[in-house]
Amino acid sequence: MLSIKYNPLPLTFILPMNSLINQIEALQKISQELDPTFEEREKLNEQVREFANHFMENLESYPAYVKGEPSTEKLTIKSGKKNLKELLAVFNSEVVLKGIKPASGKHLGYVPGGGIYTAALADFLASVTNEYAGMYYASPGAVAIENETLNWMKSIFGFPKDAVGNLTSGGSIANLIALTAARDKHKIKNEKITKSVLYLSPQTHHCIHKALRIIGLEDVKVQLLELDTLHKIDTLKLSEKIKEDISNGLKPFMVIATAGTTDTGAIDSLDEIGEIAKNHNLWYHIDAAYGGFFILSESKKNLFKGIEMADSLVVDPHKGLFLPYGIGAVLIKDKEAVFHSHHYTADYMQDANSVNSQLNPSDVSPELTKHFRGLRLWLPLQIHGIEPFIASFDEKLLLTTYFRNQLVELGFKVGPKPDLTISYFWYPSNEIEENEFNEKLVEFIHTNGDVFLSTTKIEGKFVIRMAILSIRTKKATIDTAIKMINKCLIETKKYFKY
């Protein structure tokens, strides 16, 4: 046994120095495994590179959707070790080859963006260097890059230079930050909550409703606005509703417009809604998570007139700029409204607080621990420039028109011409109830899985939804989708003996 010497200080024991050193060295040999040597890193890197290259080269041959549940037995963490080759095989079989394939150009069901390769390299560099992007003091370069990407967005959307912003995990947190700022600007709390009114479209993304609950505004009066035939907010009805609510003693404080709705790809009349918000002193928020970056396309720029009037704006680079999941952005004009909830100081951060040459991301977000997300946007923009992104926007817009035209030739009905690249369609049925027929059709489509399409309901009608935004969606993809749909349509007719 080790002999223990007593130190005169109360309740403190000291091991003999040799024994202490021996224990440290023994533990160091074990813990060193977490920090591989150059040779070990090279072996690991080669296996990951081989896996990634095989995935990328074969991505188009994979089904876009495969039904099935992962094996919990294979994924369970147990005692003992496994080698990387074995784990990559499990990752491939239980993750990559099941469910929706978000990286695939044949994923037309939601808005994945595809995930460009140079952004993945940026994520690798951000993780290896482990830069902390929350405080300028800790990593001035990382924070400067984050702020530079936000400044670039301000210039695109006509926001003033002194607006604040944040790179978030996605649109949900970005919208949460914006709604919190609106709440604090108008001091919506206590007895004011039930008298306050928020105006939005029935097409507004559901993360807005989640955010209201989270920030304590579940009991505000939410007015779902009437839409026109193009699924856009009817601005005349909006004005009438605001005046009616004021006459009834309510307190309107916020209106939310959408630039690219999830169901139909519609862009609300941003300038008209902006004027209404200004006239009634309402906080004007625009959710452009999906559609915002289409402002860079000359063919669509006019639809975004008025976006610069917003008090707050949300866009998602992991949608509109084709980046991997995990990066949204919010821009807000009123810095003090944002700081009210998010800017705090602590004694242990006094060194950091002495450096104020740039805005700290942690001062405008609930996040203190901040992943260096900005690099995944900054690096691709620097490597590729903006031209390939703009070309991709225009390509996706034309592919949407091409897809709709092909569907009409097959006998499908399509929704109104979309502003962007989300649209919907259904097969008209005279003998079988339409919703039932199209639900069965989608079952066959999902079972086939060559191309993934999702569904929604428009005024009670079950419709099939297309969302064309993946960087890898090409004309050949749409041709594959049409062949699959036609095949599944024939199967559906046989099922119903149509």
Domains in the chain, please, with CATH?
A: 122-384 (3.40.640.10), 387-495 (3.90.1150.10)
Nearest to 114 by CA among 395, 495, 443: 395
Give the C-alpha separation, 190 to 207, whole Å.
23
Rg (CA), the chain: 27
Nearest to 209 by CA among 179, 182, 250, 251: 179
pLDDT at 429: 86
Give the C-alpha separation, 285 to 179, whole Å.
8
pLDDT at 432: 79
Q: Which residues of 150-176 are buried (b: 16+ CB within 10 A; e: fewer)?
A: beebbebbebeeebbbbbbbbbbbbbb
Nearest to 352 by CA among 114, 30, 132: 132
The pTM of this model reads 0.90
- Residue 60 CB neighbours (<10 A): 15
pLDDT at 185: 94
pLDDT at 249: 95
Give the C-alpha separation, 135 to 39, whole Å.
34
pLDDT at 15: 63
What residues of the chain score a pLDDT lower than 50?
A: 1-4, 6, 9, 11-12, 348
What is the DSSP code (8-state) at residue 8? S
Task: Tell me if residue 230 falls in helix, strand or coil.
Answer: coil
pLDDT at 38: 96
Q: Which amino acid is at 471?
A: I
HSE (side-chain half, CA atoms, 13 Å) at 227: 19
Any residues with CB less than 8 A from the CB of 354 and at least 6 apart, and which?
137
Give the C-alpha separation, 439 to 495, whole Å.
12
pLDDT at 345: 64
pLDDT at 1: 43
Give the C-alpha separation, 104 to 473, whole Å.
8
